[in-house]
Amino acid sequence: MIKKILIVLFFSFNANAALEVTISQGKVEPTPIAITQIFGADSDTARYGNTLRQIISNNLTNSGLFYTVNEDLYIQSDNLVEKVPRFEDWKLIKAQFLLSADVSKTDKGIRLRMRLYDVFNAKEIEKLQLTIPDENLIRRVGHTVSDIVYERITGETGYFDTRIVYVSEIGPLDQRVKRLAIMDQDGHIDSHQFLTDGKNMVLTPRFAPNKQLITYMEYKNNLPRVYIYNLKTGEREIVGDFPGMTFAPRFSPDSQSVVMSFSDPNNAANSEIYLMDLNTRSRSRLTNDSGIDTSPSFSPDGKKIVFNSDRGGSPQLFIMDKNGDNIKRISKGRGVYGNPVWSPRGDLIAFTKLTQGNFHIGVMDVNGNNERVIVRDFALESPAWSPNGRYLIFHRQKRSNLDGTGGEVTIHFIDITGYNERIIPTPRDGSDPAWSPLL
Amino acid sequence: MLKKLFMLIVAGFFLASCAATKTEQGGDVDAASASSSSSSGGEITAGTQEDLIVNVGDRVFFEFDSSELTVDAQATLDAQAAWLMQYPDTNITVEGHADERGTREYNLALGDKRAFSVYSYLAQAGIDTNRMEYVSWGKERPEVIGSDETAYSQNRRGVTIVSN
């Protein structure tokens, strides 16, 4: 059923290919899923069950592809892990899928058993049993079960067992304190952690495909340089230790290199794009032009790089080979382009565009065709892809006023159809979000 | 997927074990970077930031998306160069800034070009480059808060800061 809907969605993408058109088709009716109580025999296991049910239900609902049928409507209230459901009862309340689970304590840890049923075809489509050593893993288990359900029903790769690194912001707009912070993709407060103390300004964190490293820019001793943060050890290491500013870093798909901008004082501090091999620490220069070259982003196959350059006058998007050859402009519309990010599926490039006083976040084919605007507002920036290439996160900033008010900046999630936008909650303001790969 | 779950359980929650935030050595960038604009009622000490601000002008302004020095900017920098000649023990940092209407990364690049324009103008005017540093703050440290051209025109700036 869902697959059919997704195919329809695919065609509506192609039918909606005009420049400057906000996608208004392709809205998916969410599929109703019933999630029974996740049963537990004692107060601990009942609590784990409640937490798991909440995580799974929120994840599926937030995807825009599901909604959880209201529990009050459920006719059958049994644990359906060991028992065949009365499918007629679930059909009656229009649940297309049914998830039931229970939690118990064993001598090895916490045991979760789960069954997923296709109600209309009256059959089990997935079952799972796992034991986790301690309750600190409950949130990740909830995300992983969500991924299993999402993948089993939609046929697409899930994205729930992932994290978002971002810049946490606080303080007056002219003296903002900016810290690296990390959280689960749902922004749940229990998963939130600060990685830096705010003493030095940090900007533009990005995950490595190997999941263990983050590259970002930090002003240490007033020197803006590219660093790597190791999530396992908490160590910070400079990688852009050049005699000038290094910034706008991103990993190559094999996590062995970082591509970044370097403003060389011997080149009139004009930003060029460099590739730094993390093993040999050798650097190679990829661009050579009197304009600004920045915001490089690799294609997922590692063969091409999309970047931002004002070599033709105003900032536009260009593509080149990974060695800097064959530079071609791809942005075609009017406006000032920036922030290009290659999708993990390889087929699209997300970008920002400033035109007629507003920022737009959109996507275009890798040759620049079929530009589509997804969201428009006074200030939007930093699009980042979900690992399955279906969603974007970005930040939105309000206008600020002379008296110092305004300027609030928040992280948002949106389907690339332009539907289902929501705020990802952060304890303070948040900007520059970047998504981890599936963990 | 199941294999991954198994891995997850065996290996534990890597990302949860991020080391606690470490305190870095080094100055408080956030406070130190704020452009000085103090004004006191008392005497102005010659050769200080306050002297530069009041009697010379500590900053130049740029057109939208430009790092070229205007005629006014060049006049200010000529005066700054003369002042720096007068106080040869003074070292400076030139900060380059941008308004908020551009991406963070593009504005970092633009801020660096602006800072370098000021730096190299002063160098050509005879100021020893050993006395000067420059840094871009992109759009991260506005002088005037506000989302209109009045604020933007004040924020597209190069500021000379006495660093000793």
Which amino acid is residue A148, in one-letter code? I
**Residue B41 banded pLDDT, cuts 50, 70, 90:** low
Residues of chain B with Cβ-Cβ distance to A308 below 8 Å are: 103, 105-106
> What does the alpha-carbon distance between residue A311 and residue A329 come to, in Å, rounded to a whole number?
10
Choice between A291 and B16, residue whose per-residue pLDDT is larger: A291
Q: How many residues does chain B have?
A: 164
3-class SS letters over A38-103: EEECCHHHHHHHHHHHHHHHHHHHHCCCEEECCHHHCCCCCCCCCCCCCHHHHHHCCCCEEEEEEE
- Is pLDDT above 60 for B15? no
> Which phi and psi angles does A305 have, rounded to 5°?
-135, 130
How high is the pLDDT of residue A24? 38
Question: 3-class SS at A151?
Answer: helix
β-strand pairing of A293-298 with A304-309: antiparallel
Helix, strand, coil abundance in chain A, percent, nearest 5 = 15, 45, 40
Considering only CA atoms, which of B160, B109, B60, B65 is closest in space to residue A287?
A: B109
Question: 3-class SS at A186?
Answer: coil
**Residue B25 banded pLDDT, cuts 50, 70, 90:** very low
- Which pLDDT tens digit goes with each residue over A342-379? 999 999 999 999 999 999 999 999 999 999 999 999 99
Question: Are the Cβ atoms of A144 and B145 closer than 8 angstroms?
Answer: no
- Which pLDDT tens digit goes with each residue over B71-89? 999 999 999 999 999 999 9
Q: Which residue of A has its CA nearest to B145?
A: A402
> What does the alpha-carbon distance between residue A274 and residue A263 come to, in Å, rounded to a whole number?
10
Q: Would you say A227 and A236 are in contact if contact means Cβ atoms under 8 Å apart?
A: yes
Return all residues near A331 (Cβ < 8 A) that are at least 6 apart. Answer: A316, A317, A337, A351, A353, A364, A368, A371
- The topology (CATH level 3) of A163-435 is Neuraminidase (2.120.10)
- Which pLDDT tens digit goes with each residue over B43-53? 899 999 999 99
Q: What percent of chain B has pLDDT over 70?
A: 74
Q: How many residues does chain A have?
A: 439
Q: Given strand A293-298, what is the order of strands in its sheet?
A: A293-298, A304-309, A316-321, A328-329
> What does the alpha-carbon distance between residue B73 and residue A175 come to, in Å, rounded to a whole number?
26
- Which pLDDT tens digit goes with each residue over A209-259? 999 999 999 999 999 999 999 999 999 999 989 999 999 999 999 999 999
* B24 within domain boundaries: no
A422 to A54, A184, A209, A243, A416: CA distances (angstroms): 18, 15, 26, 42, 13
- Is pLDDT above 60 for A1? no
Question: Are the Cβ atoms of A295 and B106 closer than 8 angstroms?
Answer: yes
> What does the alpha-carbon distance between residue B112 and residue A240 come to, in Å, rounded to a whole number?
16
Residues of chain A with Cβ-Cβ distance to B4 below 8 Å are: 144
How near does any CA of chain B get to the CA of A95, in Å? Answer: 25
E strands, B49-123, in order: 59-61, 92-97
Domain residue extents for chain A:
2-154, 163-435
* B16 within domain boundaries: no
Look at A180-194, A266-280, B8-22 and tell me which has the smallest mean pLDDT: B8-22
Which one of B33, B104, B147 has the shortest CB-CB distance to A400? B147
> Which phi and psi angles does A51 have, rounded to 5°?
-60, -45
Token reading at A224: 């803006």
Q: Which residue of B has its CA nearest to A131?
A: B9
> What does the alpha-carbon distance between residue A310 and residue A306 come to, in Å, rounded to a whole number?
14
How high is the pLDDT of residue A29? 87
Q: How many CA atoms lie within 13 A of B98 on its CB side?
A: 25
> Which phi and psi angles does B154 have, rounded to 5°?
-80, -25
> What does the alpha-carbon distance between residue A187 and residue A200 come to, in Å, rounded to a whole number?
24
- Which pLDDT tens digit goes with each residue over A35-80? 999 999 999 999 999 999 999 999 999 999 999 999 999 999 999 9
β-strand pairing of A123-132 with A283-285: unpaired
ipTM (interface predicted TM): 0.91
> What does the alpha-carbon distance between residue A243 and residue A263 come to, in Å, rounded to a whole number?
9
Q: Which residue of B has its CA nearest to A180?
A: B21
How high is the pLDDT of residue A26? 59
Q: Does B102 touch chain A (CB under 8 A)?
A: yes
Global pTM? 0.89
> What does the alpha-carbon distance between residue A279 and residue A162 come to, in Å, rounded to a whole number?
27
Helix (H) or strand (E) holding B110: helix B104-124
- Is pLDDT above 90 for B37? no
For residues A199-209, give the mean pLDDT: 98
Q: Which residue of B has its CA nearest to A199?
A: B28
- Report chain A's mean pLDDT, rounded to a whole number: 93
**Residue A18 banded pLDDT, cuts 50, 70, 90:** very low
**Residue B1 banded pLDDT, cuts 50, 70, 90:** low
β-strand pairing of A391-397 with A380-385: antiparallel
> What does the alpha-carbon distance between residue A87 and residue A345 come to, in Å, rounded to a whole number?
37
By CB atoms closer than 10 A (0-12, 13-18, 19+), residue A279 is exposed
Q: How many CA atoms lie within 13 A of A337 on its CB side?
A: 31
- Which pLDDT tens digit goes with each residue over A107-142? 999 999 999 999 999 999 999 999 999 899 999 999
How high is the pLDDT of residue B60? 98
Total domain count for chain B?
Answer: 1
> What does the alpha-carbon distance between residue A262 and residue A273 come to, in Å, rounded to a whole number?
6
> What does the alpha-carbon distance between residue A328 and residue A309 come to, in Å, rounded to a whole number?
11
A373 bridge partner residues: A22, A362
Domain that holds residue B94: 68-99+108-140
How high is the pLDDT of residue B164? 85
How near does any CA of chain B get to the CA of A134, in Å? Answer: 9
* B128 within domain boundaries: yes
**Preferred mutation among B104, B107, B152, B154 to probe A, highest tally of A CBs within 10 A:** B104
Q: Which residue of B has its CA nearest to A196?
A: B21
- Residues A332/A338/A344/A346 CA torsion (nearest 10 deg): 20
How near does any CA of chain B get to the CA of A303, in Å? Answer: 23
Return all residues near A389 (Cβ < 8 A) that are at least 6 apart. Answer: A343, A344, A345, A347, A348
The separation between the first and the last C-alpha atoms of chain B, rounded to the nearest angstrom, is: 60
Residues of chain A with Cβ-Cβ distance to B37 below 8 Å are: none
For residues A185-190, give the mean pLDDT: 97
Q: Given strand B59-61, what is the order of strands in its sheet?
A: B59-61, B157-162, B92-97, B132-138
The separation between the first and the last C-alpha atoms of chain A, rounded to the nearest angstrom, is: 28
How high is the pLDDT of residue A95? 97
**Residue A193 banded pLDDT, cuts 50, 70, 90:** very high
CATH number of A2-154: 3.40.50.10070
**Residue A338 banded pLDDT, cuts 50, 70, 90:** very high
> What does the alpha-carbon distance between residue A39 and residue A60 come to, in Å, rounded to a whole number?
20
Per-position b or e across B75-109, b if 16+ CB within 10 A of its CB: ebbeebbebbeeeeebebbbbbbbbbbbbbbbbbb
**Residue A28 banded pLDDT, cuts 50, 70, 90:** confident
Residues of chain B with Cβ-Cβ distance to A185 below 8 Å are: none
β-strand pairing of A97-106 with A31-40: parallel
CATH number at residue B72: 3.30.1330.60
Q: How many CA atoms lie within 13 A of A56 on its CB side?
A: 30
